[in-house]
Amino acid sequence: MGSFARKEHQFLAELGLAPRNPGSFACGAWGGSGPVVIAEVVEASAREYEEGMRACYDAAKTWMAIPAPKRGEIVRQIGDALRAKLHHLGRLVSLEMGKILPEGIGEVQEIIDMCDYAVGLSRQLNGSIIPSERPNHMMMEVWNPLGVVGVITAFNFPCAVLGWNACIALVCGNCVVWKGAPTTPLITIAMTKIVASVLERNNLPGSIFTAFCGGADIGQAISLDTRIPLVSFTGSTKVGLMVQQQVNARFGKCLLELSGNNAIIVMDDADIQLAVRSVLFAAVGTAGQRCTTCRRLLLHESIYRTFLDQLVEVYKQVRIGDPLENVRSTMEASCL
Amino acid sequence: MGSFARKEHQFLAELGLAPRNPGSFACGAWGGSGPVVIAEVVEASAREYEEGMRACYDAAKTWMAIPAPKRGEIVRQIGDALRAKLHHLGRLVSLEMGKILPEGIGEVQEIIDMCDYAVGLSRQLNGSIIPSERPNHMMMEVWNPLGVVGVITAFNFPCAVLGWNACIALVCGNCVVWKGAPTTPLITIAMTKIVASVLERNNLPGSIFTAFCGGADIGQAISLDTRIPLVSFTGSTKVGLMVQQQVNARFGKCLLELSGNNAIIVMDDADIQLAVRSVLFAAVGTAGQRCTTCRRLLLHESIYRTFLDQLVEVYKQVRIGDPLENVRSTMEASCL
Amino acid sequence: MGSFARKEHQFLAELGLAPRNPGSFACGAWGGSGPVVIAEVVEASAREYEEGMRACYDAAKTWMAIPAPKRGEIVRQIGDALRAKLHHLGRLVSLEMGKILPEGIGEVQEIIDMCDYAVGLSRQLNGSIIPSERPNHMMMEVWNPLGVVGVITAFNFPCAVLGWNACIALVCGNCVVWKGAPTTPLITIAMTKIVASVLERNNLPGSIFTAFCGGADIGQAISLDTRIPLVSFTGSTKVGLMVQQQVNARFGKCLLELSGNNAIIVMDDADIQLAVRSVLFAAVGTAGQRCTTCRRLLLHESIYRTFLDQLVEVYKQVRIGDPLENVRSTMEASCL
Amino acid sequence: MGSFARKEHQFLAELGLAPRNPGSFACGAWGGSGPVVIAEVVEASAREYEEGMRACYDAAKTWMAIPAPKRGEIVRQIGDALRAKLHHLGRLVSLEMGKILPEGIGEVQEIIDMCDYAVGLSRQLNGSIIPSERPNHMMMEVWNPLGVVGVITAFNFPCAVLGWNACIALVCGNCVVWKGAPTTPLITIAMTKIVASVLERNNLPGSIFTAFCGGADIGQAISLDTRIPLVSFTGSTKVGLMVQQQVNARFGKCLLELSGNNAIIVMDDADIQLAVRSVLFAAVGTAGQRCTTCRRLLLHESIYRTFLDQLVEVYKQVRIGDPLENVRSTMEASCL
């Protein structure tokens, strides 16, 4: 929309984004017939979820039969495709989520690193041959793919968390069904376009990587879906508990990455300058939207006044506004 | 020379090879003042070895201080650079060593795969924290780089064997000093140019990867050099034993990949057609120049005649000549 | 009582069992003020649970501070103490649970084997030192004890399942709170006496290993107890689900070993005699009370009649009655 | 002899030692027809070595066919047998080698700990199932026993070093041929009697553990023996190098534990008292006969005088004489 018209947002086109974007990549094709939630992203409907999941479940048979090192090669190509768009993707993370640009780029780099790591793993997914008590017998233990892994991510790390889960899931022989956060649909779409292009170039079913923009209804569909034996959820403790109860009730398994409530304790013999800078980054980094964000400060009374004065001072350097326009030097220095 | 003038050898220029090539990449620069052994490669002299090793030994301090994942990134770039030249390098292996083109390309692919594997390893070079019997104590075990690893390779796999050793050595924080086979200097030079370009692009000392074209004198210098705590040698059993004795005498360690003497036993209930094809590939593959080459055939008397007749028949399909001109269909089918 | 008077039950006294037994080993002492459920075992009351858990939770601080190899030494002594009573304990398993004697003894041997295995593990609970991307940094990952591990076991393997869980929990630095099945309290008591004697001989708090005879109320108390971060449950799928929901709701973790529904498929080219014997053992072994028990038989029509005839024949050899009196030769041969 | 008559040496009889002892346990029987070297131990002759090795080599076929966990059970029994004689064996180490009693007992404890550790390992000697690039293929890697492992130990740790090697070798499925130091034959004999009794009690060939008292001729026979693919040698650097050259020349492998030349550096801000005590233990412990013994002291000039004065003072507490009679309080405190 208006956003697209602005010169500084031309990079969005480089990522394959248009003023109006279908929010469901399912059955290897883009769809989206649900309500328009944010700007011009059309979220996935329940019918699209069902069709997409069916195709994803089918694609699992293809994907798990491909040798692990070949799956690693696909993930390597995904890493290279992300590398080629590193700065554009980083800007989009910044634009849509609100963290500063170095952090946006840093987050995309994280998923690239995960790709490299997973490529190496694809030749090391070793099973075991275990000695038995019975003569001339041995026990064999091999890792079999689960089929489809569900990944529900949060808005604060709209692509890195996908990477932690999807890169490993893919080399292990699992298809991925991804629901990104409802408030960061553009990064969901841009990421998915990149993965889809790699799958297409290798003549693989696009459904191996299925993605939905959507809200709680799609999330719940994943939680309840018996075709998804493992669900990774990142988000609030409250919702995480609900997801876990739903997934466990059908004997599925969960990976949860939930809330934190971190404190920093500063003693009287601390290096105050270092501590102040650390608190600033811990509290303001990622726009304060991080499970590891510092929320509480426990100060020794003897340094309480000095510390607070210095902290107020450095907070003044933090400018509020467009994360792409403002260069917050202290923050950038801290986060690099 | 004449070779370079031929149209079908234009790919050599793509690999940075010239009619006359200095055969020593040491101190990050090309040199070579020894005798001209093959065509126009100028081998390294003893003085060049000493200068190169000194620079390599110095570079080890730089390289081992770089975090392992960053070293992995360099190896990833080497893998990508090899990928870009896969077919040219494969042709050169074929041209210089004599194996057929699919095997030449396959060998280069092997070193590319090793790069991918080593990149993953660069984040997994874990030490251990071991429980102690003493209260409030623990034991820590970490992997420290050795410094410089010597790699002496044979003519039959002029680049894959380097890859097995160098990719792992590099991510582990070791510099590499490589002596390729005297009969395959062009592949030594082409490979080294590729690695050197990656190091240069990353502002790293070229001496991290030091290479020499040369004969037994350079090999012996490596064996005796106390600056090289680990020597990997691939070649004949006879020379391997000598290298080992020399390296061990100075408390260095050896990795040996020596000769074989493999037999295939064919019983009376075997699938003769499959067995014949297997023997053909096992005996003729890599132009018969492989440690795992089949040298002996033990046939059950009841199938002896039939087997031999069929074997003679398939041998007729093997055409002798330029490995780049002749397409030996049976062999290619077997080796792919 | 009457049981104790019988000559063939004199071995019960060897295991420290009396006609009337308090069913709670908590705070390092025997108690039991709840209702008398089976014969003469006095189950634990809610108050006894609370007191016992409080002592167990306290003992955790002592136990986790003991070096892992020293904890291994305690588990080694437990293994030796069990070894000394192997045949008596095996008889008790047979008497109380109903499986035949060789299986009873085999089950006790399993926990002895687990002790040996855990002793070795106690020197291998290694953490990792992981390479970091930051120069001069490394990441350390160590295994910390959880504190108290809850173990709820089923009647069919009244001691082996405890062993799988408790041996590992103990060397890892965790205290154990155990609720045995309400129908096998004597084995719970006999096992606990053995462990308690080892702890006492080593001047360690008896609360490190806390045990309760009791029913669903004790089980639920464990599920809901926030002092128990990990609960291992073996039993029915229905109850397992409930336990899991309760434990997860307080962010605890579960290990579940639930029901099975195994079938054996016999094709037309099977070795019928071998298959018949396998089905017999699979269906009748452990008195048919095993998660891996064969419940369904899928027979190829061409062998259906023959198979059934033979199966009926071997079933006739299975005598019903006192597992200590009857020697069922076929079964014993199969299970050894 | 005279030694045996003394009351304080009655424990030797407890260890099965007599005034005159055959020094070769080979073919499962005691022999020894070589020269009498120390007191009354009759060393093994070349003929006895050959007969013993032949039987050991044969026994290897039996031993490697026994399931690893069953081999672990034998090693567990060896550990228990050593435990029963811990103090007697510790006294013998003290008497024959010269280290103080707590160190003698500590050394025997070390081999007991190794037994426990190896028992656990016997269920963890896992091979790997490695993903292959070829569809529907996997690679399997299993650990096969070598056959016979040679162990040549030094006088300063006459039984612990055996333990490090033999416990692991045995659970891995290897027979052991041991040559103890010529100056500590009684501990070689006492240890061997204990192992032999366990093998006998389990109806296993005594040749699984073959031991020789003898000198350089037996050591060289082991080095040159192609039936021994792995030789572990502990001793001087000079002899270690020779052993390695001989073993490698026949493509055998070596484990070497050779000399050291350790220094302690004391800076000006050190805790002098702690440093002095550390130096005392490091230099005088194990009667100064240890590869890790402190041989050199590098002192900062500012603490040089103080340090030396204190060191001379603590050295005065070290009494020279019979290690079983003298109680050297400082040393004992340090080494416990």
CB contact under 8 A, A142 and D137: no
pLDDT tens-digit series, residues D98-154? 899 999 999 999 999 999 999 999 999 999 999 999 999 999 999 999 999 999 999
Q: How many CB atoms lie within 10 A of CB A61?
A: 12
Residue D261 contacts B where some CB pair is shorter than 8 Å = no
> Is pLDDT of B255 > 80?
yes
Whole-number pLDDT of residue C333 = 45
Element holding A298 (H helix, E strand): strand A294-299
Q: How many CA atoms lie within 13 A of A171 on its CB side?
A: 30
pLDDT tens-digit series, residues A215-229? 899 999 999 999 999
Whole-number pLDDT of residue C35 = 53
DSSP state of A28: T
How far does the CA of residue B58 sit from the closest CA of chain C (Å)?
19
Phi, psi for residue A319 in degrees, rounded to 5: -95, 140
CB contact under 8 A, D113 and C69: yes
pLDDT tens-digit series, residues A273-306? 999 999 999 999 988 899 899 999 999 999 999 9
CB contact under 8 A, C142 and B138: yes
Q: Is-contact B144 B87, C-beta < 8 A?
A: no
> Is pLDDT of A323 > 90?
no
> Is pLDDT of B329 > 50?
no
What CA–CA distance (Å, rounded) separates B65 from B59?
10
pLDDT tens-digit series, residues C150-183? 999 999 999 999 999 999 999 999 999 999 999 9
What CA–CA distance (Å, rounded) separates A147 from A168?
13
Q: Is-contact C1 C39, C-beta < 8 A?
A: yes
Within 8 A of D123 by CB-CB distance, chain C residues are 113, 116-117, 120
Q: Is-contact C37 C29, C-beta < 8 A?
A: no
Burial level of D309, CB count in 10 A (0-12/13-18/19+)? exposed
Whole-number pLDDT of residue D4 = 64
B123-156 as b/e, with b when 16 or more CB fall inside 10 Å?
bbbbbebbbebeeeebeeeeeebbbbbbbbbbbb
Please give the mean pLDDT across all residues of chain C.
Answer: 90
Please choose, from the candidates C232, C218, C203, C178, the residue with its C-alpha nearest in 3D space to the C-alpha of residue C56: C178
- The confidence band for B4, taking pLDDT boundaries of 50, 70 and 90, is low
- The confidence band for B20, taking pLDDT boundaries of 50, 70 and 90, is confident
Rounded to an integer, the average pLDDT of C273-286 is: 94
Rounded to an integer, the average pLDDT of C63-68 is: 97
- The confidence band for D1, taking pLDDT boundaries of 50, 70 and 90, is very low
Q: Cα–Cα distances in Å, from B180 out to B49, B99, B288?
A: 14, 17, 20
Q: Give the three-state DSSP class for D21.
A: strand
> Is pLDDT of B62 > 50?
yes
Q: Which of C73, C257, C301, C325 is catalytic?
A: C257
Q: Is-contact A208 A195, C-beta < 8 A?
A: no
How far does the CA of residue D29 sit from the closest CA of chain B (Å)?
38
Element holding D256 (H helix, E strand): strand D253-257
Mutate to test the interface with A, among D133, D137, D143, D170 (most CBs of A within 10 A): D133
Helices (H), chain A: 2-5, 11-14, 46-65, 68-84, 86-97, 101-121, 160-171, 185-201, 216-224, 237-249, 272-284, 301-316, 329-335
Whole-number pLDDT of residue A24 = 83
- Could you write out the DSSP letters of every residue in C188-246? HHHHHHHHHHHHHHTT--GGGEEEE---HHHHHHHHH-TT-SEEEEES-HHHHHHHHHH
Q: C262 has which bridge partners?
A: C294
Q: How many CA atoms lie within 13 A of D115 on its CB side?
A: 21
What CA–CA distance (Å, rounded) separates B58 from B50?
12
Contacts of D224 by beta carbon, 8 Å cutoff, 6+ apart: D246, D250
- The confidence band for B336, taking pLDDT boundaries of 50, 70 and 90, is very low
Look up tokens 């920093």; give the residue. A264
pLDDT tens-digit series, residues D8-52? 777 778 888 887 888 788 888 887 665 544 446 777 889 999 999
> Is pLDDT of C205 > 50?
yes
> Is pLDDT of D264 > 50?
yes
Look up tokens 């032949």; give the residue. D54
Within 8 A of A251 by CB-CB distance, chain C residues are 241
What CA–CA distance (Å, rounded) separates B201 from B193?
12
Whole-number pLDDT of residue D116 = 96
Handedness of CA C300, C303, C304, C310 (dihedral sign): negative
Contacts of A295 by beta carbon, 8 Å cutoff, 6+ apart: A260, A261, A262, A263, A283
- The confidence band for D188, taking pLDDT boundaries of 50, 70 and 90, is very high
What CA–CA distance (Å, rounded) separates C188 from C98?
15
Question: Which two structure tokens, joined as six digits, stand for D227?
Answer: 């039936």
- The confidence band for A35, taking pLDDT boundaries of 50, 70 and 90, is low
Within 8 A of D76 by CB-CB distance, chain C residues are 116
Range scoring the smallest mean pLDDT among A6-15, C147-156, D149-158, D240-249: A6-15
> Is pLDDT of B334 > 50?
no
Whole-number pLDDT of residue B305 = 96
Q: Cα–Cα distances in Å, from A286 out to A257, A331, C141?
A: 17, 10, 25
What CA–CA distance (Å, rounded) separates C147 from A90?
43
What CA–CA distance (Å, rounded) separates B1 from B20?
8
For chain A, percent of residues with pLDDT exceeding 70? 93
Contacts of D316 by beta carbon, 8 Å cutoff, 6+ apart: none
Rounded to an integer, the average pLDDT of D81-85 is: 96
CB contact under 8 A, C123 and D123: no
> Is pLDDT of B1 > 60?
no
Q: Is C107 a catalytic residue?
A: no
Q: Cα–Cα distances in Å, from C165 out to C232, C238, C255, C256?
A: 7, 21, 9, 11
Rounded to an integer, the average pLDDT of C52-81 is: 97
Q: Give the three-state DSSP class for D104.
A: helix
Burial level of D273, CB count in 10 A (0-12/13-18/19+)? exposed
- The confidence band for A26, taking pLDDT boundaries of 50, 70 and 90, is confident
Whole-number pLDDT of residue D35 = 53
Please choose, from the candidates B293, A138, C323, the residue with its C-alpha nearest in 3D space to the C-alpha of residue D68: A138
Q: Is-contact C88 C11, C-beta < 8 A?
A: yes
Question: Which two structure tokens, joined as six digits, stand for B193?
Answer: 């140019």
> Is pLDDT of A243 > 60?
yes
- Could you write out the DSSP letters of every residue in D28-78? TEEE--S-B-STTEEPPPHHHHHHHHHHHHHHHHHHHHS-HHHHHHHHHHH
* Cα A53 to chain centroid, rounded: 20
Mutate to test the interface with D, among B139, B244, B250 (most CBs of D within 10 A): B244
Please give the mean pLDDT across all residues of chain D.
Answer: 90
Within 8 A of A245 by CB-CB distance, chain C residues are 245, 248-249
B39: left (phi over 0), alpha (psi -120 to 50) or beta: left
3-state secondary structure chain B: CHHHHCHHHCHHHHCCCCCCEECEEECCEEECCCCECCCCEECCCHHHHHHHHHHHHHHHHHHHHCCHHHHHHHHHHHHHHHHHCHHHHHHHHHHHHCCCHHHHHHHHHHHHHHHHHHHHHCCCCCEEEEECCCCCCEEEECCCCCCEEEEECCCCCCCHHHHHHHHHHHHCCCEEEEECCCCCHHHHHHHHHHHHHHHHHCCCCHHHEEEECCCHHHHHHHHHCCCCCEEEEECCHHHHHHHHHHHHHCCCEEEEECCCCEEEEECCCCCHHHHHHHHHHHHHHHHHCCCCCEEEEEECHHHHHHHHHHHHHHHCCCCCCCCCCCCCHHHHHHHC
Question: B3 versus C129: which is more confidently predicted?
Answer: C129
Q: B42 has which bridge partners?
A: B22, B36
Q: Which residue of D has its CA nearest to A70?
A: D133
* Cα C116 to chain centroid, rounded: 16
Rounded to an integer, the average pLDDT of A113-119 is: 97
Residue A144 contacts D where some CB pair is shorter than 8 Å = no
Alpha carbon distance, N-terminus to C-terminus of chain A:
33
> Is pLDDT of C257 > 50?
yes
What CA–CA distance (Å, rounded) separates D70 from D208?
14
Element holding D299 (H helix, E strand): strand D294-299
A–D CB contacts, 8 A cutoff, strictly below: 66
Residue A308 contacts C where some CB pair is shorter than 8 Å = no
pLDDT tens-digit series, residues D313-326? 999 988 888 887 75
Question: B30 versus B275: which is more confidently predicted?
Answer: B275
Q: D233 has which bridge partners?
A: D152, D256
> Is pLDDT of A65 > 60?
yes
**Structural domains in chain D plus CATH codes:** 5-124+144-255 (3.40.605.10), 260-314 (no CATH)
